[in-house]
Amino acid sequence: MEQRRAAITAVGHYLPEDRLTNADLEKMVDTSDEWIRTRTGISERRILKDPEKATSYMAANAAKELLEKRNLDPAEIDLVIVATVTPDMFFPATACLVAAEIGAVNAWGYDISAACSGFLFALSTGARFIESGKHKKVLVIGADKMSSIVDYTDRTTCVLFGDGAACALLEPDTDGYGVMDSIEHTDGSQWSFLCMLGGGSLNPPSPVTIEKKWHFLHQEGAPVFKAAVKGMADVAADLVEKNGLSGDDIRFLVPHQANLRIIDATARRMGITMEKVMLNIERYGNTTAATIPLCLSDWEPQLRKGDNLVLAAFGGGFTWGASWVKWAYDGSSD
Ligand code: UT7
């Protein structure tokens, strides 16, 4: 019997219906479909337009899809972890709202703030509760309503982001499947390149923070791009090397979807052709913590038991990391 690992045993997702296309953005800011597609790979994103609905709504819907697919009683869930930088409120944690909404009456929960690396950090954290034997069912969710913090007059950021949520269920496995290994990093010295300055204890909301647009996401694209290309490629390569894997052993690279050029560089560095890279940036843009689980959910029908996946992300903080996951079930069996 192999050691106890945390296997992903189900996935689910939620995407709002409204689409914001490059053509729509051409009418809002000085940009072009050509610039957006060639510089980022994005054609459209989903936007949660209803002002009364927020991140917990999308996260709960993703979780409900998962529970329904698995015919699972929500009362069996032990722990709900939500990775997000757009919580419904500072507190309570979005995880509390999601657990209540889905009927996870026996679960506890908390949020993780690690921007685009959020899902990986949540996966790594959630896996420890399974490996230790403390819990049997952990729900890990990546969800972000990026449209709530995007300045739609700033062409350098508004073309990049979209809204969405997706999740994975972790359960114990002793047959050699699940989260095999992971590497995580943070570097807070470079925080100012990608942040939201206002609203926290440093710059509480005031007429000044509103006037300065500090309640919107701020990104200096070029330094983030440079750090992301290096960070994501390095950490994925380190993980693969540490575990004696080669490009041939990997069925899919599952990269955070911020920019097609960053993904391309990571794949090349790992000796992986683009057919083995999960890509949905064209349809959803950068949904921050949701990109990686959204990929898993989109690709689920193609996944087979034993497939080696390398998940990799880079984001604000800076935060970055990679996980090696051995897929635990045949997608088509659902
Ligand atoms: O997910 C978390 C991590 N985030 C990332 O990984 C994002 C990393 N950064 C990027 O993906 C890229 O830096 C961007 C896509 C954000 C920008 O691409 P870039 O090739 O780095 O462009 P740039 O910022 O160097 O700007 C090049 C030019 C500038 O014009 P000038 O100064 O050369 O005249 C920009 O003003 O492109 C201009 N530009 C635009 N033009 C048309 C910037 N945004 C736009 C736009 N439409 N939307």
CATH number, domain with residue 250? 3.40.47.10
Q: How far is the CA of 31 from the centre of ligand 1 (A)?
A: 11
Half-sphere exposure at residue 250, Cβ-oriented, CA atoms within 13 angstroms: 30
**Residue 326 binned pLDDT confidence (cut-offs 50, 70, 90):** very high
Same domain, residue pair 111 and 91: yes
| Per-residue pLDDT tens over the stretch 177-188 | 999 999 999 999
pLDDT at 318 over 90: yes
Ligand 1 pocket test, pick from 120, 156, 266, 292 with the greatest ligand atom count within 8 Å of Cβ, gives 156
Share of the chain above pLDDT 90, in %: 97
Same domain, residue pair 186 and 72: no
Same domain, residue pair 12 and 102: yes
Ligand 1 pocket test, pick from 225, 256, 318 with the greatest ligand atom count within 8 Å of Cβ, gives 225
Same domain, residue pair 40 and 96: yes
User: 194 is in which domain, residue-wise?
Assistant: 180-333
Beta carbons within 8 Å of 303's beta carbon, 6+ residues apart: 251, 252, 296, 309, 327, 329, 330, 331
| Per-residue pLDDT tens over the stretch 163-209 | 999 999 999 999 999 999 999 999 999 999 999 999 999 999 999 99
Q: Which two tokens stand for residue 41?
A: 């790979």
Model-level pTM? 0.97
Domain end: 129, 152, 176, which one?
Answer: 176
* Catalytic residue from among 195, 256, 259, 295: 256
Same domain, residue pair 285 and 228: yes
Tell me how crowded residue 30 is: count the other CB atoms within 10 A of its CB.
8
List strand residue ranges (DSSP E) for 90-210, in order.
108-112, 138-145, 163-173, 178-186, 194-195
* CB of 315 closer than 6 angstroms to any ligand 1 atom: yes
Same domain, residue pair 216 and 293: yes
Same domain, residue pair 83 and 230: no
**Residue 247 binned pLDDT confidence (cut-offs 50, 70, 90):** confident
List strand residue ranges (DSSP E) for the chain, in order.
5-14, 18-21, 44-47, 79-83, 108-112, 138-145, 163-173, 178-186, 194-195, 218-219, 252-255, 308-315, 319-326
Distance CA 302, CA 325 (A): 15
The amino acid at residue 10 is: A
In the block, which residue shows the tokens 């647009």? 213
Angle at alpha carbon of residue 142, lines to 140 and 144, rounded to 5°: 150
Same domain, residue pair 293 and 170: no
Same domain, residue pair 120 and 145: yes
Domain end: 176, 198, 233, which one?
Answer: 176
| Per-residue pLDDT tens over the stretch 265-277 | 999 988 899 999 9
Same domain, residue pair 45 and 79: yes
Closest CA to 144 of 117, 175, 176, 177: 117
Number of structural domains the chain divides into: 2
* CB of 190 closer than 6 angstroms to any ligand 1 atom: no
Nearest CA to ligand 1 atom 1: 258
Active site includes 259?
A: no
**Helix/strand/coil percentages in the chain, nearest 5:** 40, 25, 35
Domain end: 144, 176, 208, which one?
Answer: 176
Same domain, residue pair 25 and 163: yes
Same domain, residue pair 198 and 154: no
* CB of 217 closer than 6 angstroms to any ligand 1 atom: no
